[in-house]
């Protein structure tokens, strides 16, 4: 069966809603295996692995591309992938990686040390997406090819988190990218909706905002966890409303869904044929203030809002599947401390801070922007609206698509006064969170607060460069305490990570460093017996 015919068959069945629940559900049986249908709310506007990342984008990037190493398990551990081994120098400045000898790109080209060198150079020179993780410590000229299977990184200075970020630096095929360059753009325009990877899946049909097809690579160089059950592919289908997701899952039109509401998870908990994945992760929820422009540039107003907020409502909204933040760092992250006196609801203190602000009588309207279709974030906005009425502050709740939120949040002039953001650290190292509060990270995805404290930025720089964990731990304790004192956001909660899937879907593996709805597609398979 041709791919085009196969996909039209599957999509037609899905859109018609004619397939039955149970083992003969959403997946389509084909001579090459079964196609898994994943329902998500978020589109994939840019597939380029060096330009952009968010949960839906990265889920597909990790399916299509490989990196030197990969995060797996809970707690998350770094495992060899394209690199079979590595070593670092005593001073922490030189890292050498030895590659496997059998990795191949989808067009058959070998994955070489030059491909790795080129990929890191590309990421650094584009200076988008992943660049912030390494650019302060790694220059393109610091990457060299020792031989076809050995690549060396010479850092400008020791950088303790270096290895922890490498799972998100995916390797592209230089030959394919260079063949599609336009005016020296490093193939950026082409890689927006095309791929040059070596991962377990390749790109099939690509219909932005509708569906994205991935075809499994039968002879994937690393093999398959369930070789005899390898899926023929995955269809990532956009369903923006939680109610529609739940209905599609119950009718057997999709095999797995992210983004159901907390009430939905309670309602389907005991439905035969459905399984709920519920894991305590490192995903934090906060309401980020624009600290540089408008009313929320006033520290006292930010403090007033933080003390007026009803934090217990967060736990209620998530039906207990959450815990309150005690620091900007997630509880499970190395270096976390419980910051003394982190704000909790206290209207007396809220009024004291309001009286010290430039708006002692309130009388202002503040926007609260959240991801469209995310019911919990909307309900949190309603809580905030009710809380701030007591301070004579009006809240304007505004739903927005995530790509637009990122675009608006990238500039001081367009970032809203209050933005609802869920953040999953991309690394197990505390720098992954701390650096979001560094001046150099302004406008980089979650740094929508434009927080500016020169002393904090200096301590972050010190902690990044130190190879002495005791020194780093002391610095991160001071960093966490000062950030809370400066209140660039309402520090809310740690959200449990949840998905619902049909019971015939096997191989689900949770790792806390994955983003909100992100799933590792590689180990999934269908038990259709």
Could you read off the pLDDT of 102-156 as tens digits, one per residue?
999 999 999 999 999 999 999 999 999 999 899 989 999 999 999 999 999 999 9
3-class secondary-structure state, position 400: strand
Across 43-47, average pLDDT? 92
Answer whether 0.85 is exceeded by the pTM.
Answer: no
**181: which 2 tokens?**
């360059």
Please give the residue that has the higher pLDDT: either 7 or 449. 449
Residues 487-509, mean pLDDT to the nearest whole number? 95
Over 80: is that where the pLDDT of 263 sits? Answer: yes
Q: Which two tokens stand for residue 295?
A: 């009313």
Distance between CA 91 and CA 405 in Å, rounded? 41
Q: Tell me the percentage of the chain whose pLDDT exceeds 90.
A: 78
CB 506 within 8 A of CB 277: no
Confidence of residue 15 (pLDDT cuts 50, 70, 90): very low
Q: 488 pLDDT band (50/70/90 cuts)?
A: very high
Both tokens of 398, joined, read: 């505004």
pLDDT of residue 24: 52
Which pLDDT band holds residue 335 (cuts at 50, 70, 90)?
A: very high
352-372 mean pLDDT = 97
pLDDT at 83 over 90: yes
Cβ neighbourhood burial of 358 (10 Å; 0-12, 13-18, 19+): exposed
Residue 472: helix, strand or coil by DSSP? helix
Q: How far is it, in rounded angstroms, from Cα 483 to Cα 435?
A: 12
Write the pLDDT tens digit of every residue in 376-433. 999 999 999 999 999 999 999 999 988 899 899 999 999 999 999 988 888 889 998 9
Closest CA to 347 of 313, 307, 294, 385: 307
Most confident option among 244-248, 355-359, 423-427: 355-359
Residue that the structure tokens 């040059």 belong to = 196
pLDDT by residue (tens digit) across 202-228? 999 999 999 999 999 999 999 999 878
Measured torsion, CA atoms of residues 208, 176, 231, 511, in degrees rounded to the nearest 10: -80
Distances (CA, A) of 88 to 112, 130, 349, 385: 20, 22, 51, 52
Distance CA 429, CA 137 (A): 16
Q: What is the C-alpha separation between 336 and 27, in angstroms, rounded?
A: 42
Whole-number mean pLDDT of the chain? 91
> 348 — phi, psi (to 5°)?
-65, -45
Q: Which DSSP category does 401 fall into?
A: -
For residue 200, pLDDT over 90 is answered with yes
Q: How confident is the model at residue 229 (pLDDT cuts 50, 70, 90)?
A: confident
Q: Which residue has the tokens 């906060």?
A: 286
Asked, as a colleague might, if the bond just before 513 is cis with ω within 30 of 0, I would say no
| Residue 3 pLDDT | 39
pLDDT of residue 25: 59
* Residues composing the chain: 529
In sign, the C-alpha dihedral spanning 175, 176, 177, 182 is positive
Could you tell me if 499 and 517 are in contact, meaning their C-beta atoms sit under 8 angstroms apart?
yes
pLDDT tens track for 265-311: 999 999 999 999 999 888 899 999 999 999 999 999 999 999 999 99
6 pLDDT above the threshold of 60: no
273 SS3 class:
coil
How confident is the model over 447-458, as a mean pLDDT?
94
- Rg, Å, the chain Cα set: 23
Say how many C-beta atoms besides its own lie within 10 A of residue 227's C-beta.
9
- Residue pair 499/257 in contact by the 8 Å Cβ criterion: yes
Predicted confidence (pLDDT) at residue 30 exceeds the cutoff of 80:
no
Report the distance separating Cα 141 and Cα 45, nearest Å.
Answer: 31
Higher pLDDT, 1 or 231: 231
Per-residue model confidence (pLDDT) at position 28: 67
pLDDT at 403: 83
């Amino acid at each position: 069966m041709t791919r085009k015919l196969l996909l039209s068959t599957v999509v037609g069945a899905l859109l018609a809603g004619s397939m039955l629940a149970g083992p003969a559900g959403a997946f389509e049986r084909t001579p090459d295996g079964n196609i898994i249908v994943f329902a998500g709310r978020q589109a994939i506007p840019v597939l380029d692995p060096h330009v952009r990342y968010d949960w839906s984008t990265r889920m597909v990037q990790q399916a299509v591309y490989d990196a030197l190493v990969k995060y797996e398990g809970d707690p998350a551990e770094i495992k060899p992938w394209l690199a079979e081994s590595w070593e670092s120098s005593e001073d922490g400045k030189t890292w050498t990686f030895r590659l496997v000898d059998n990795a191949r790109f989808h067009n058959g080209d070998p994955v070489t040390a030059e491909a790795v060198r080129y990929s890191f150079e590309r990421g650094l020179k584009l200076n988008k997406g992943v660049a912030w993780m390494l650019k302060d410590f790694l220059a393109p000229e610091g990457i060299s090819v020792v031989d076809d299977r050995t690549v060396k990184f010479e850092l400008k200075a020791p950088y303790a988190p270096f290895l922890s970020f490498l799972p998100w630096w995916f390797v592209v095929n230089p030959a394919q990218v260079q063949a599609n360059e336009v005016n020296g753009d490093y193939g950026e325009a082409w890689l927006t909706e095309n791929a040059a990877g070596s991962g377990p899946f390749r790109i099939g049909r690509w219909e932005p905002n509708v569906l994205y097809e991935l075809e499994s690579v039968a002879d994937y160089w690393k093999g398959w966890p369930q070789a005899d059950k390898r899926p023929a592919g995955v269809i990532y289908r956009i369903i923006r409303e939680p109610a529609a997701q739940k209905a599609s899952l119950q009718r057997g039109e999709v095999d797995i869904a992210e983004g159901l509401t907390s009430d939905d998870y309670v309602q389907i908990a005991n439905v035969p044929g459905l399984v709920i994945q519920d894991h305590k992760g490192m995903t934090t929820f906060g309401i980020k203030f624009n600290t540089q422009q408008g009313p929320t540039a006033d520290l006292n107003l930010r403090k007033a809002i933080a003390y007026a907020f009803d934090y217990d409502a967060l736990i209620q909204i998530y039906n207990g599947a959450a815990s309150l933040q005690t620091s900007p760092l997630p509880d499970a992250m190395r270096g976390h401390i419980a910051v003394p006196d982190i704000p909790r609801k206290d209207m007396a203190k809220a009024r004291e801070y309001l009286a010290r602000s430039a708006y002692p009588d309130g009388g202002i309207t503040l926007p609260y922007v959240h991801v469209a279709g995310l019911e919990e974030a909307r309900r949190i906005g309603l809580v905030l609206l009710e809380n701030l009425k007591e301070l004579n502050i009006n809240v304007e709740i505004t739903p927005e698509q995530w790509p637009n939120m990122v675009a608006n949040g990238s500039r001081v002039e367009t970032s809203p006064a209050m933005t609802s953001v869920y953040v999953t650290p991309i690394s197990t190292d505390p720098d992954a969170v701390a650096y979001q509060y560094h001046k150099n990270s302004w406008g980089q995805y979650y740094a929508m607060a434009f927080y500016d404290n020169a002393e904090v930025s200096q301590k972050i720089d010190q902690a990044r460069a130190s190879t002495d964990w005791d020194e780093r731990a002391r610095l991160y304790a001071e960093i966490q305490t000062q950030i809370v004192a400066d209140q660039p956001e309402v520090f809310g909660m740690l959200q449990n990570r949840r998905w619902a899937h049909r019971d015939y879907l096997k191989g689900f593996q949770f790792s806390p460093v994955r983003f909100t709805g992100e799933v590792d597609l590689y180990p999934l398979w269908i038990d259709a017996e």
